[in-house]
Amino acid sequence: MHKIAVVGTGDLARAVCYSLAAVATTSVEVVVIGRSAGKTEQLCYIANARAASGGRAGVAFTPFVGDVERPVADVDGALVCASSQSPWERLTAPSAWTALVGRAGFGITLPFQAELALRVGRALPERSWLINGCFPDAVNPLLAALGVPVLCGVGNIALLAASAQAALGLPDQTRLRMLAHHVHLHEPAEGREEVRVWCDDEPVTAPADLLVAQRSAERTELNQITGFAAAVLLDAVLSGTPVETNLPGPLGLPGGYPVRVAGKDIELRLPAGVSRAEAVAFNQRAAVADGVVVDGDRVVFGPAVAEFLPGFAEGFDVGDLPAATARLDALRERLRGEPLAQRRGGVEMPV
């Protein structure tokens, strides 16, 4: 029997586990790691009940509460679905901090998205795999620069590709190739590039038309798609069944790409005429719009961060991540306690 870990008990982790309980084709024990005993046990109860009612007798979910290092030390692989910065904070606890995130770009939260994934990656046994669900477009290249092998991510381009697949009426993504970044979950700002989509190696001339339903849907509902797609991916990795899809952060690359996954092996499947360098360059341009660029062993934030943290405009080396995280965390705590001011046009800004 395979054994994997799912780290987290939030919306994404629940969607993944509930979907995996229904789609798993191979025997697997899923160790769900959470901070709250009640939430972790409830998640496992529901997932186990779904697996039982669907005839998945070889699929089991086991709760674990505590530090991640111990339970991930003997698993075949892990999926990280938790971080120290919720993407929903702007809705649940708006503050001057969430206003800064809105202004600077989600990329400012990179250190917080990477903390737990880095711990999990370093604790995994050799030859196991790591899949990251927390801002993989930027976190995965950071992990790779720090020497943590990461297979790929989930969400972002995977959500966009699933939406495009549905709009095109395709049975799978074999004919669908996409280049897209986390920032493309929303309509790009004026002057910024839209996602690039190919069907049968022919460019789709109006790719935004394929994403109208996704971009107008309630964000909290989209994890139902992301979680299901992640469960299908996990099952393919466990069973070794080859699948052609589109994923964020494959092989530690920035942004999202069309890929072929066969067990623990993954390779790009770029459209004809598009080189790896061109695909990476497209995603790095999108990363600028998202507020952070990870280029080799260097992390560079956008200019809005430097207004609050002088020196960050030049960026920092990945080896200095702990110090950078501490400085950013101090800023976050300060801004969380400050009120919002209104800028012209009704845009909320930190005072």
DSSP string, 266-332: EEE-PPTT--HHHHHHHHHHHHHHHTEEEETTEEEE-HHHHTTSTTGGG-EEGGGHHHHHHHHHHHH
When pLDDT is averaged across residues 130-158 and rounded to a whole number, the result is 97
As beta bridge partners, residue 266 has 261
Instruction: In whole angstroms, give the CA distance from residue 264 to residue 279.
Output: 23
Q: Quick one: pLDDT at residue 5?
A: 98
Q: What is the pLDDT of residues 38-92, one digit of tens each?
A: 999 999 999 999 999 999 999 999 999 999 999 999 999 999 999 999 988 988 8
Predicted TM-score (pTM) of the model is 0.94
Per-domain boundaries in the chain: 2-153, 157-290, 292-337
Question: Which CATH number does 2-153 carry?
Answer: 3.40.50.720
Q: What is the pLDDT of residues 14-37, one digit of tens each?
A: 999 999 999 999 999 999 999 999
How big, in percent rounded to 5, are the helix, strand and coil portions of the chain?
A: 45, 20, 30
CA 141 to chain centre: 12
Band (348; pLDDT cuts 50, 70, 90) = very low
Residue 240 CB neighbours (<10 A): 12
Instruction: In whole angstroms, give the CA distance from residue 18 to residue 185.
Output: 24
Tokens found for residue 346: 């009704």
Query: Under CATH, what is the fold of the domain 157-290?
Result: L-2-Hydroxyisocaproate Dehydrogenase; Chain A, domain 2 (3.90.110)
Q: Quick one: pLDDT at residue 219?
A: 87
As beta bridge partners, residue 301 has 292
Q: Quick one: pLDDT at residue 304?
A: 86
193, pLDDT greater than 80? yes
Q: Quick one: pLDDT at residue 311?
A: 78
Q: What is the pLDDT of residues 159-183, one digit of tens each?
A: 999 999 999 999 999 999 999 999 9
